Structure 1
């Protein structure tokens, strides 16, 4: 999880980002009690008057700097019908077909690059991190319960979420979030169960800010290796999907993550505070801070040789196609069963200062500087350990420095820049540099914003792409540092719900997983270009929303991308009963052109670039009815309605992994504010 990404500024929403929204309600009136001391209000410099006036609001913290980023509390119908988390942004992901399984964004610019514990990268959308786990400020205790289920009981899909947030004082509060999702699997050996838990405590005072939290992520997956032959999906219709043969019958992956973190900052005003200074946001100040984060990851992969499909003596036939080779070519340590275990931990300590020369909204609002030390520990069962029986850790440390500057001129111009460099230790000479600027003009108070971003990165490849030892794969690589130069330009017009963007990246020494499912490095430059457009039309209650992404890669063997990816959402939203019941009836569609889409290997837990078969060209359609009845949201949905609509059943997005068949879903989300 890239350290430099932890340094994000509060910039305008990303491509396809949802608008910031919260549910507002009137404050309860209370009689003045002169015998009780009035509670101290929320005076934190992080929040302006418009945010403080809201009944409930949420934000994410930055573990490297004294910054936060506002986020929204999900209480409206905006994208309630999209129940898979990796499909909520932009044009969505390619995925294995079921909830809880790995996925990878269709858009190259959205693809995560985990520098730590790379095996968790395909599961990015399910994971809580200190930067993605939200904190809350609520006038009344907030509780949200959500439940979505689909399919018959024997292969049911479930998505359960629980949130409780409560403030002890206007400045101090805590929150607990619990999320579990998964499926028993429509197809054989497809069961998943992902469970995420986050506990956070926050204090946002006038001078002192403090956060502490604990996160637990666990993901359990049966791995079926994909269908034995696509013909079982495309050539013959099986009424009972569990009769379709898959490559693996008893393979499993289990990932567990524990994260502890704490963040502290103290502000020192550079002039004396007066009664007119409600917060320190408007006075020159210096903030000093410290953050600590400990992450541990463990992954165990198991399988047996007897649980794999093997070729028949007579070969395959049209009635019973079979593979020509076993799923795994090598069995290095044990010829009958595998139990591969990998472990990684990282302890991060950071000290930082932030200078606020005038006020936080000045042309030079804040100037940041910090130092950090990361201590890494890696464990895996290697060949020498097999002989000695003693598994020793690999220990590495990195010392880095970083800085940033941020400012704005009224509502017309915002800018920032940031830099991170590793002078000593592991990942020595890694570098990240970035500059952003946004110019806004207003036409009758309607904003139009032009944003430019330039970045350069130089990174040591992931430890696991260089060294890996397992029953099926062993590699020892000495890769050069990867580099990327990226230019982004974005034009947004929120009033007319329109957005356009252009991206250009030049990649050097790109590390990728090739057709043999093993990491390789391209020693030539690869260029990736993207053009994105979003336009939402509204005619009364009728909404016609469109997102389209065009992409070009100069080397599809290194960076495969579809030429066209699109997402449409057409719906009619109206008040069935004014201020009581609101309805939303619509259809969602997703499509991408054919390309050499990714394969997935369970033993490495990674997507790889394959050249055997082009995949795509299949439209996925969902229809739904969503309702908001007071504080309850209700969903009725038919997913994959388009099955058998277009005279093709090539519904694959990853090689040999079919998407789920047509299924009916029902769900509720209920919010309590007392």
Structure 2
């Protein structure tokens, strides 16, 4: 394994030999890993191969709007704070429930952060490792950039290994290409729970004045072994009740030789052509400094080059014997003729300057003009854009099993599988989707009276779905369903300026399977100064009325089979956010109403020996409205090197049997932040996650979904105990690395933790990770 990782790293480093050019605003990565905004021209000595060149270190990073491909500025993935938490699928603030092992399926305990409307439901639980074009960081770089992330824990028997390598290079100042390779493997401390995920991504962007393009291709293979949880929670909650001592790997699990597999590929292309005009605008102070620095550097370079050329010429002249006597004809012909003052005076086309006062006046005017030109830049102002976006997704899901306990499933819909024998399971589902969107945009900013941008679009969506089907004689065959959708919509937005921004989007489906669906999204923010800092008041709201997706309405497999005629689900939400930088405070309040809420539910009985029987699962809709209220406070404190970071979330669900949520979810991080020898940045501390008791969703491997516990006789409560990690998070010259001991409050008994019923988390485990950026 380590030999393969070393080979991969050296192969990536060998690719960083190209040069790059751009003149954008860039994020300078400092020695402590922080990001500083600056302007920079591309490698100013790119033609000078005779002197040592300082490699410019800077990245301009952004995400995109998936529908239109709009550029949304973002920070590069170089921030050191809580770096170790980015490697855990339990979330940055520990807000996700998982099935114990890293990189497994997960679900957020914060309802307003859960995704909605994913077409292929089988990959939704793997949001931690999925790559999406609207979440991916595109980049422009001042020099070829490579970032290697590696983290691991444990050993070859039960540990984890994760490596992520990202490379980006600019062909010129507008065109960037790169790739991202991500491999995550966790063997698991309990039996039959290993995970293996591989993802490869190619990306490219071109940001010209008239033409802009973003390209994204991703191929992923995901494989997870399913153990169905341990047979008896007492193995970890009350180990004293057993005569023998069991290690984690010796504790029996419900399932063995069961796997969920996902293979999926994605192609995304968004490009546009802008119509507009050029104008001169005043540069910012940073841009003026950058231009001056570039000019001075170029002058120094030219002077050195001229000096070197003169030295070389003098050396050559010493080797040439001086001519004697009369010069040759060629030398006479090469002599410069004497200037005739009479001819100059006779030139009537020249401007006559009478007197020193006139000369001084012209010099002053020229100096003023030069001063103005030095602070101006030529800017292209787009007025209208023609946009095309292509989205292609291809999915293949398999649930496979070579062994199933007796009476584990309540229902069996067919005996002989399509691929395997009677005793095996080979449930397969496929999905292909191609979506084209054409849009026209009237852009804001081309005129002082135009305060907002306006876009209109039309989308055509073609989908195919494939699953097993049975005929009237109960014979199994492979069936394919085709659907299409035609939708239209628009966007009104204001993104420029510092005080007020807003974005209103609406879409309605006018033809196809989802005819009559509609979505409306609105967001706005107001920024104003208060006591020497900035206050931001933000608000958002949406109204969705949409049919559940295909794979919620249909499930065809050996032990789970349904064809439901589901009603449209209606969701409305109003959310407000208050942020004040001076006190490091952020308050978020949201109210949501759900009609025809659609959810998964599962049920089983417990056997005398701790196993499961009569397992069943299905899709449900709640006819009564459900109301969810959420209040979330981010509050940080600092006293010298001591820092205390807190995220407190309160939630209230009006129907906890259908939508169970913890009333309280807390994250607290207490740490010391300091520097050693002025070069090593250190965060030394501990973070804790806590949520109140509630009937957390169980996990059903057969449908690869978290599902509400429907059987009151077997359902269990989780929560009411802390998860504590102790860590040292450090940065040296842009290199980030950490050591963290997870679950230190884990002394056995009732302190053992569960995030999903019957799926215990790992015990105290030491993790190590490093992220190393290379500029070359």
Conserved in 1, the CA contact under 8 Å of 2:669 and 2:688? Answer: yes
Aligned to 1:8: none
Alpha-carbon distance, 1:606 to partner: 0.7
Alignment of 1:67 with 2:70, yes or no, is yes
For the residue of structure 2 that corresponds to 1:186, the secondary structure is coil
Alpha-carbon distance, 1:332 to partner: 2.2
Aligned to 1:613: 716
For the residue of structure 2 that corresponds to 1:297, the secondary structure is strand
Question: Using a 3 Å threshold, how does the CA distance of structure 1 residues 503 and 24 change in structure 2: closer, same or farther?
Answer: closer
In structure 2, distance between residues paired with 1:361 and 1:383 = 64
Alpha-carbon distance, 1:495 to partner: 2.8
Aligned to 2:259: 252
In structure 2, distance between residues paired with 1:26 and 1:451 = 30
Aligned to 2:272: 265
For the residue of structure 1 that corresponds to 2:747, the secondary structure is coil
Aligned to 2:750: 648
Alpha-carbon distance, 1:217 to partner: 1.9
For the residue of structure 2 that corresponds to 1:644, the secondary structure is coil
In structure 1, distance between residues paired with 2:235 and 2:449 = 63
In structure 1, distance between residues paired with 2:655 and 2:447 = 44
Conserved in 2, the CA contact under 8 Å of 1:115 and 1:461? Answer: no
Aligned-residue CA RMSD (Å):
2.5
Q: Among residues 493, 497, 509, which one is paired with 1:422 in the alignment?
A: 509
Aligned to 1:16: none
For the residue of structure 1 that corresponds to 2:127, the secondary structure is helix
How do 1:107-186 residues align onto structure 2 when only pairs under 5 Å count? 107-186=110-189
Question: Using a 3 Å threshold, how does the CA distance of structure 1 residues 363 and 124 change in structure 2: closer, same or farther?
Answer: farther
Alpha-carbon distance, 1:288 to partner: 0.4
In structure 1, distance between residues paired with 2:628 and 2:753 = 26
How do 1:390-469 residues align onto structure 2 when only pairs under 5 Å count? 390-407=477-494, 410-469=497-556
Q: Among residues 703, 708, 715, which one is paired with 1:604 in the alignment?
A: 703
Alpha-carbon distance, 1:446 to partner: 0.8
Instruction: Report the number of matched residues.
Output: 617
Conserved in 1, the CA contact under 8 Å of 2:469 and 2:477? Answer: no
Alpha-carbon distance, 1:631 to partner: 2.8
Q: Among residues 172, 184, 187, which one is paired with 2:190 in the alignment?
A: 187
Q: Output one character per residue of 1:398-456: Cα deviation in whole Å (capped at 9) or x when no partner.
A: 00112111115732211121101101101111111022221222024411111111210
Alpha-carbon distance, 1:21 to partner: 6.6
Alpha-carbon distance, 1:152 to partner: 2.5
Alpha-carbon distance, 1:107 to partner: 0.2
In structure 2, distance between residues paired with 1:383 and 1:607 = 27
Aligned to 1:575: 675
In structure 2, distance between residues paired with 1:245 and 1:216 = 35
Conserved in 2, the CA contact under 8 Å of 1:22 and 1:56? Answer: no
Q: Among residues 76, 81, 94, which one is paired with 1:78 in the alignment?
A: 81
Q: Among residues 714, 731, 738, which one is paired with 1:635 in the alignment?
A: 738
Aligned to 2:563: 476
How do 1:266-415 residues align onto structure 2 when only pairs under 5 Å count? 266-269=273-276, 273=279, 278-280=378-380, 283=381, 285-304=383-402, 307-310=403-406, 326-334=407-415, 335-359=422-446, 364-384=451-471, 390-407=477-494, 410-415=497-502
For the residue of structure 1 that corresponds to 2:478, the secondary structure is coil
How do 1:483-494 residues align onto structure 2 when only pairs under 5 Å count? 483-494=570-581
Question: Using a 3 Å threshold, how does the CA distance of structure 1 residues 477 and 21 change in structure 2: closer, same or farther?
Answer: farther
Aligned to 1:541: 641
For the residue of structure 1 that corresponds to 2:112, the secondary structure is helix
Aligned to 1:527: 627
Q: Output one character per residue of 1:151-189: Cα deviation in whole Å (capped at 9) or x when no partner.
A: 122011112110111111111111211111121110000
Q: Which has more radius of gyration?
A: 2
Conserved in 1, the CA contact under 8 Å of 2:525 and 2:537? Answer: yes
Larger % of helix: which? 2
In structure 2, distance between residues paired with 1:254 and 1:28 = 47
Alpha-carbon distance, 1:552 to partner: 0.4
Alpha-carbon distance, 1:473 to partner: 0.4
Structure 2 stretches lacking a partner, 5+ long: 1-32, 50-55, 282-375, 416-421, 604-616
Conserved in 2, the CA contact under 8 Å of 1:93 and 1:103? Answer: yes
For the residue of structure 2 that corresponds to 1:382, the secondary structure is strand
Question: Using a 3 Å threshold, how does the CA distance of structure 1 residues 573 and 362 change in structure 2: closer, same or farther?
Answer: farther
Alignment of 1:626 with 2:751, yes or no, is no
Question: Using a 3 Å threshold, how does the CA distance of structure 1 residues 31 and 503 change in structure 2: closer, same or farther?
Answer: closer
Aligned to 2:239: 236
Q: Among residues 565, 575, 586, which one is paired with 1:499 in the alignment?
A: 586
In structure 1, distance between residues paired with 2:525 and 2:225 = 46
Q: Which one scores higher on RCO, CA 8 angstroms, separation ≥ 6?
A: 2
In structure 2, distance between residues paired with 1:594 and 1:603 = 27
TM-score by length of 2: 0.76
Question: Using a 3 Å threshold, how does the CA distance of structure 1 residues 511 and 135 change in structure 2: closer, same or farther?
Answer: same
TM-score by length of 1: 0.87
Conserved in 2, the CA contact under 8 Å of 1:24 and 1:56? Answer: no
Conserved in 2, the CA contact under 8 Å of 1:21 and 1:72? Answer: no
Question: Using a 3 Å threshold, how does the CA distance of structure 1 residues 97 and 359 change in structure 2: closer, same or farther?
Answer: farther
Alpha-carbon distance, 1:98 to partner: 1.0
How do 1:546-561 residues align onto structure 2 when only pairs under 5 Å count? 546-561=646-661
Conserved in 2, the CA contact under 8 Å of 1:363 and 1:407? Answer: no
Structure 1 stretches lacking a partner, 5+ long: 1-19, 37-52, 311-325
Q: Output one character per residue of 1:283-309: Cα deviation in whole Å (capped at 9) or x when no partner.
A: 4600001111110111100113xx344
In structure 1, distance between residues paired with 2:741 and 2:682 = 16
In structure 1, distance between residues paired with 2:593 and 2:182 = 38
Alpha-carbon distance, 1:337 to partner: 1.1
Question: Using a 3 Å threshold, how does the CA distance of structure 1 residues 348 and 277 change in structure 2: closer, same or farther?
Answer: farther
For the residue of structure 2 that corresponds to 1:278, the secondary structure is strand
In structure 1, distance between residues paired with 2:470 and 2:762 = 40
Alpha-carbon distance, 1:71 to partner: 2.3
Aligned to 1:12: none
